[in-house]
Chain A
Amino acid sequence: MEFVGEHLLAGKVGNFFVIFSFCAALLAAISYFFATQKNDADWKTLGRISFLAHGVGILGIISTLFFMILNQYFEYYYVWQHSSTELPLRYIFSCFWEGQEGSFLLWAFWHMVIGVVFLFIRNKWEAPVLSIFGLVQAFLMSMLLGVYFFEYRLGSNPFTALLREHPDFSDIPLFTNPNYLENLDGRGLNPLLQNYWMTIHPPTLFLGFASTLLPFALAISGLWTKQYKEWLKTAIPWTFFSIFILAIGILMGGAWAYEALSFGGFWAWDPVENASLVPWLTLVGAGHLMIVEQRRGGVMKSLLFLTFLTFILVLYSSFLTRSGVLGDASVHAFTDLGMSGQLLLYLLTFVAISIFIFVLRYKHLPSSEKEEELWSREFWMFIGALVLFISSFQITISTSIPVINKIFGSDLAPPVDAIEHYNSWQVPFVIVILLLMGFSQFFNYKKTEFKKFFGKIFTALLISAGLAVAIGLSMQMFNPFHLFMLFAALFAAVANLDYLIRVMKGKIRFSGASISHAGFGIMMLGALLSMGKQEIISNNTSSYDVTMLGENYDNQESILLMKDDTLQMGDYLVSYVGKEKEGVNIKYNINYYTKNDKGELTKEFTLKPQVQLNDRMGNVPEPDTRHFLFKDIYTHVTWAVLEEKKDDEVEKAETQNLHVGDTVFLKRAILIVDSLKQASPIKYEELMPDDIAVEVALTLWDFDTKAHKMSPVFVLRDSSKVFSIPSINEDLGISISFDRIYPNNGSIDLTFIEKKSEQKEFIVMQAVLFPYINLLWLGCLIMSIGIIISIRNSIRIFKK
């Protein structure tokens, strides 16, 4: 069938660019390879041209894809899947990298940018480094090829037409119309990802991942060209740049989780989070060993190992998150795009290259035969790097349980309490790291006299111990690990500040290490206080008894809030005052009040946690947080009735025989029969002059002890026709009719019809108080400033 209005040219252009940039990357890899091997200028020129051509190709792919998304070409699978006519323009970037293909492009884009920058600074390592870049890029481009080799599809092409990707759709009536495009709209961007975090987090994180390639490529180049140490000069500033960007990317993910997802904190040891943290840990280790190697030497093997490992772990993390292997283990259940084989090949190729070149050059690697000095800075930096390695090893093993299951056919499940599991390992590691950060600044390179050292460090030890005791007592921290970490974090911050002031005398140029280590200490202090002393304030204040629940189950973390009721919660009184709908979000307005001595309520603030009606992932709660300088109040709706209940659902009518003075227990009130009297025709329009009408006065006490009056009427018309004028009370959801009078004993029959559903609306919500979480962000800022200073300083050394 011929379809009308399909823009097939755009797809062809896009496809051309994919193939072009793939071939150019391969050519760059090969040309630069020979340029390195033969030290030949012509090969190098060819490599240069092909790498730049590859760059043009990537820009071409990206522009074409943007063009297609902007113009809403839903005949293309990628555009159809991630965009829609309703998508606001500001989310166009999010839409671009929502899918795997887009995120591969983002990754490849950053590699390309770094490669081109490296090319233009005319570094002497250009040829070998860009040869490796070319190979990496060829692998990444192959992920976009979408070419079939017999039955196996290589890559997933973002320029595939919808009907080609889904031939099964051709049976759908929509597509039997040649003019189907007029009726077709895209599936749209997942509402959960429609926020600014999705615009800034992925490019930062992928720049971080991409920047790990340069230290890796430089290390390989050093071994390849047998210049075992020279590459360090170039590698150090780039490595710390990578550490900086990756740290920002990871923390941004944490901030996103904290602000907009209901993880209940900024770090949940989720496999996806772990996958980004682990390479950072090894990279930090590698960066520090580079400094040690340059100053003194003797750690080349460990340094190479960690540098190689970092890049391999980046590839491994991409394999974990994209291949679907995480399956049941992660809350994010990823689906396989059928590329796990290809991803694995990419990973294993670079593992093989690393091992091959390491083994090949092992004998020639510089090493030191002399005994390490125990009281030297480099020895403890080395220990620190090893602790980082062990820490990343533990996280990797635990995160890889699904992979272990795949390989060994075992049936292990992840630890029941993942956060507890990781913390029990990582808290001791971080304590060691923090202590090392504090101590090692005061060691000299090469050799330190112990007594002198102790004299210098004593002040910092004393101050931080004092602070730790004060904070521990005032915050009632009793967990020994927490207390120890509190001391260690304070010590790292205090010792480094002390070093900065007393030893460096505030010389900013060389103070990068002190500032960044102090920042890390403050960051860990914030993490410890906010997570360790977080307080779920939404428990046990509801008027409903929870003690009967019994033994072990005391995770009463949510409370029920009836609309307009006010409950005590922590230091606040909270009230759910109503909801409003905004697009796909339902916002629940919750007022927080404080009470003064006189018992008067003052409204402090309103939080609007929301539930997103997300037809792709199910309904997602999104928290709202009130930030104070020293604490955050975090609130999220854990359950709410989303669909409006029909009001006319009623219980079965029930008739009771009653006397004046009797009491009846109803669902929402207690009823008392007050008196019987003749009904006045003036009051009831339905009555005719000759009717005999009796009215019964009823008082209903609701559970707020408010009285409601009701008066159903019994009518006898023309001595034969009997009926009732029922009385209805909307507030109580009840209708009462007066059916019969028994003259012999004076009793009457009343029929009650009660509404089934409670009229009153309610939500179940959770509120958590995170103390001092701002220390975490402050520490992050200080650490960033410190790293930037270090990078500037190392570039200065490098230029000398």
Chain B
Amino acid sequence: MKKTHIVGIAIIALAIAAIIGTLSDSSTYENFDVAFENPNHEFHVVGTLNKEKPTIYDPKNNPNEFIFYMLDKKNVEKKVILHKTKPQDFERSEQIVIIGKASGEDFHAEQILMKCPSKYNDGSGEFKTPEEHNEQNLSS
């Protein structure tokens, strides 16, 4: 057996390990029901902010705690405690992804991603009504 064969086998083994490692490290997108059935396991939950309920951020008390109510894709609402600073402009988010664990009645999130318009956005979604569009362009 040539050395290159040994190397080749090692490479394949590492490649398989990389795939398995990635799969095992990857989390899954779930709804609140699954997250709360498996407390203390990490999940990604996608949903939207419940804008009817208040968001609580009292930085004087604790700058690293932000509480809001989120609806998941099945429209289940839970109280979310984000252990971070409140993201600037949070209320404008269209969609939220929270990453963290369920514990008791609350979901404790360590990270948050918000869907926001980006540099590659074609911008057409920005003008939902003609009036808004008009205002925006005429104001400048």
Q: Interface of A with B (CB < 8 Å)? A: 81, 84-86, 98-100, 166, 169, 171-174, 183-185, 187, 190, 192-193, 321-322, 328, 331-335, 337, 371-372, 374, 379, 382-383, 386, 389-390, 393-394, 397-398, 401, 411-416, 421, 425, 542, 544, 546, 549, 553, 555-560, 611, 616-621, 638-640, 642, 758, 762, 764, 766
Task: Report the Cα distance A567→B138, complex, angstroms.
Answer: 46
**Given known contacts A174-B133, A639-B85, A639-B86, is B117 in contact with A617 (CB within 8 Å)?**
yes
Q: Add 13 more A-B contacts to A328-B115, A616-B121, A619-B89 (CB < 8 A).
A: A98-B119, A100-B120, A174-B138, A332-B119, A390-B15, A397-B19, A411-B28, A412-B23, A412-B29, A553-B110, A616-B117, A621-B88, A764-B63
Residue of A nearest to B124 (CB): A166
Q: Interface of B with A (CB < 8 Å)? A: 2-4, 7, 11, 14-15, 18-19, 21-23, 25-29, 42-44, 46, 57, 59-65, 83-86, 88-89, 92-93, 95, 97, 99, 108, 110-111, 113-124, 126-127, 130, 133-134, 137-138, 140
Task: Report the Cα distance A119→B89, complex, angstroms.
Answer: 53
B15 CB → nearest A CB, Å = 6
Q: List 29 A-B contacts (CB under 8 A).
A: A81-B122, A81-B123, A172-B130, A174-B133, A174-B134, A174-B138, A328-B29, A333-B115, A371-B2, A382-B7, A390-B14, A394-B21, A397-B22, A411-B28, A412-B23, A412-B27, A413-B27, A415-B26, A416-B42, A549-B62, A549-B83, A558-B64, A560-B63, A611-B88, A616-B121, A616-B123, A619-B89, A621-B88, A762-B60
Would you call B88 and A557 a contact (CB within 8 A)?
no
Residue of B nearest to A324 (CB): B120
B29 CB → nearest A CB, Å = 5
Task: Report the Cα distance A322→B120, complex, angstroms.
Answer: 8
Q: Which residues of chain B come closer than 8 Å to A618, judged between CB atoms? A: 88-89, 92-93, 114, 116
Q: Which residues of chain A come closer than 8 Å to B116, judged between CB atoms? A: 333, 617-618
Residue of A nearest to B114 (CB): A618
Which has the most chain A C-beta neighbours within 10 Å: B27, B88, B113, B114? B88
**Given known contacts A412-B23, A618-B88, A619-B88, is B119 in contact with A560 (CB within 8 Å)?**
no
Would you call A172 and B97 a contact (CB within 8 A)?
no
Task: Report the Cα distance A413→B42, complex, angstroms.
Answer: 11
The 6 closest A-B pairs by CB, nearest first: A618-B89, A413-B44, A638-B85, A172-B130, A394-B18, A553-B83
Residue of B nearest to A335 (CB): B121
Q: Which residues of chain A come closer than 8 Å to B59, judged between CB atoms? A: 560, 639, 762, 764
Residue of A nearest to B23 (CB): A412
Residue of A nearest to B40 (CB): A552
Residue of B nearest to A371 (CB): B2
Would you call B133 and A172 a contact (CB within 8 A)?
yes
A379 CB → nearest B CB, Å = 7
B62 CB → nearest A CB, Å = 6
Would you call A398 and B22 a contact (CB within 8 A)?
yes
Q: Which residues of chain A come closer than 8 Å to B26, judged between CB atoms? A: 398, 401, 412-415
Which has the most chain B C-beta neighbours within 10 Å: A173, A184, A192? A173
Task: Report the Cα distance A508→B19, complex, angstroms.
Answer: 43
Q: Which residues of chain A come closer than 8 Å to B60, judged between CB atoms? A: 544, 560, 758, 762
B80 CB → nearest A CB, Å = 13
How many residue pairs, one in A and one in B, have C-beta atoms under 8 Å apart?
180
Q: Which residues of chain A come closer than 8 Å to B124, judged between CB atoms? A: 166
Would you call A415 and B27 a contact (CB within 8 A)?
yes
A704 CB → nearest B CB, Å = 15
A477 CB → nearest B CB, Å = 24
**Given known contacts A328-B46, A619-B88, is B61 in contact with A544 (CB within 8 Å)?**
yes
**Given known contacts A371-B2, A764-B59, is B119 in contact with A192 (CB within 8 Å)?**
yes
Would you call A555 and B137 a contact (CB within 8 A)?
no
B111 CB → nearest A CB, Å = 7
Would you call A193 and B119 a contact (CB within 8 A)?
yes
Q: Which residues of chain B come closer than 8 Å to A390, judged between CB atoms? A: 11, 14-15, 18
Residue of A nearest to B110 (CB): A555
**Given known contacts A416-B111, A616-B117, A639-B59, is B18 in contact with A169 (CB within 8 Å)?**
no
Would you call B110 and A412 a contact (CB within 8 A)?
no
Would you call A333 and B22 a contact (CB within 8 A)?
no
Kindly identify which residue among A332, A415, A542 contacts B25, using a CB–CB cutoff of 8 Å: A415
Would you call A416 and B18 a contact (CB within 8 A)?
no
Would you call A190 and B84 a contact (CB within 8 A)?
no
Kindly identify which residue among B11, B95, B118, B133 contacts A386, using a CB–CB cutoff of 8 Å: B11
Task: Report the Cα distance A8→B99, complex, angstroms.
Answer: 50
Kindly identify which residue among A374, A386, A546 contacts B62, using a CB–CB cutoff of 8 Å: A546
Task: Report the Cα distance A169→B57, complex, angstroms.
Answer: 40
Task: Report the Cα distance A379→B3, complex, angstroms.
Answer: 9
Task: Report the Cα distance A315→B117, complex, angstroms.
Answer: 24
Would you call B99 and A416 a contact (CB within 8 A)?
yes
**Given known contacts A335-B122, A386-B11, A421-B25, is B92 in contact with A371 (CB within 8 Å)?**
no
Q: Which residues of chain B come closer than 8 Å to A389, judged between CB atoms? A: 11
Q: Which residues of chain A come closer than 8 Å to B95, judged between CB atoms? A: 328
B10 CB → nearest A CB, Å = 8
Task: Report the Cα distance A555→B109, complex, angstroms.
Answer: 11
B72 CB → nearest A CB, Å = 14
B7 CB → nearest A CB, Å = 7
Q: Which residues of chain A come closer than 8 Å to B83, judged between CB atoms? A: 549, 553, 555
Task: Report the Cα distance A639→B64, complex, angstroms.
Answer: 10
Would you call B4 and A372 a contact (CB within 8 A)?
yes
A167 CB → nearest B CB, Å = 11
Would you call A174 and B140 a contact (CB within 8 A)?
no
Would you call A183 and B88 a contact (CB within 8 A)?
no
Residue of B nearest to A156 (CB): B122
Task: Report the Cα distance A383→B11, complex, angstroms.
Answer: 10
Would you call A553 and B108 a contact (CB within 8 A)?
yes
Q: Which residues of chain A come closer than 8 Å to B118, judged between CB atoms? A: 332-335, 617
B114 CB → nearest A CB, Å = 8
Task: Report the Cα distance A383→B10, complex, angstroms.
Answer: 11
Would you call B29 and A171 a contact (CB within 8 A)?
no
Q: Which residues of chain B come closer than 8 Å to A557, judged between CB atoms? A: 64, 84
Q: Which residues of chain B come closer than 8 Å to A559, judged between CB atoms? A: 63
Task: Report the Cα distance A225→B131, complex, angstroms.
Answer: 63
Q: Which residues of chain B come closer than 8 Å to A328, judged between CB atoms? A: 29, 46, 95, 97, 113, 115
Q: Which residues of chain A come closer than 8 Å to B28, judged between CB atoms? A: 411-413
Would you call B18 and A425 a contact (CB within 8 A)?
yes
Kindly identify which residue among B18, B84, B99 contacts A393, using a CB–CB cutoff of 8 Å: B18
Q: Which residues of chain B come closer than 8 Å to A558, judged between CB atoms? A: 63-64, 84-85
A430 CB → nearest B CB, Å = 14
Would you call B22 and A555 a contact (CB within 8 A)?
no
Task: Report the Cα distance A412→B133, complex, angstroms.
Answer: 38
Task: Report the Cα distance A333→B119, complex, angstroms.
Answer: 9
Residue of B nearest to A401 (CB): B26
Would you call B64 and A555 a contact (CB within 8 A)?
yes
Q: Which residues of chain B come closer than 8 Å to A414, judged between CB atoms? A: 26-27
B24 CB → nearest A CB, Å = 9
Task: Report the Cα distance A81→B127, complex, angstroms.
Answer: 12
Task: Report the Cα distance A192→B88, complex, angstroms.
Answer: 15
Q: Which residues of chain B come closer than 8 Å to A619, judged between CB atoms? A: 88-89
Q: Which residues of chain B come closer than 8 Å to A372, judged between CB atoms? A: 2-4
Q: Which residues of chain B come closer than 8 Å to A640, judged between CB atoms? A: 88
Q: Which residues of chain B come closer than 8 Å to A412, judged between CB atoms? A: 23, 26-29
Q: Which residues of chain A come closer than 8 Å to B2, judged between CB atoms? A: 371-372
Q: Which residues of chain B come closer than 8 Å to A100, judged between CB atoms? A: 120
Q: Which residues of chain B come closer than 8 Å to A758, judged between CB atoms? A: 60
Residue of A nearest to B45 (CB): A413
Q: Which residues of chain A come closer than 8 Å to B15, judged between CB atoms? A: 390, 393
Would you call A416 and B27 a contact (CB within 8 A)?
yes
Would you call B138 and A86 a contact (CB within 8 A)?
no
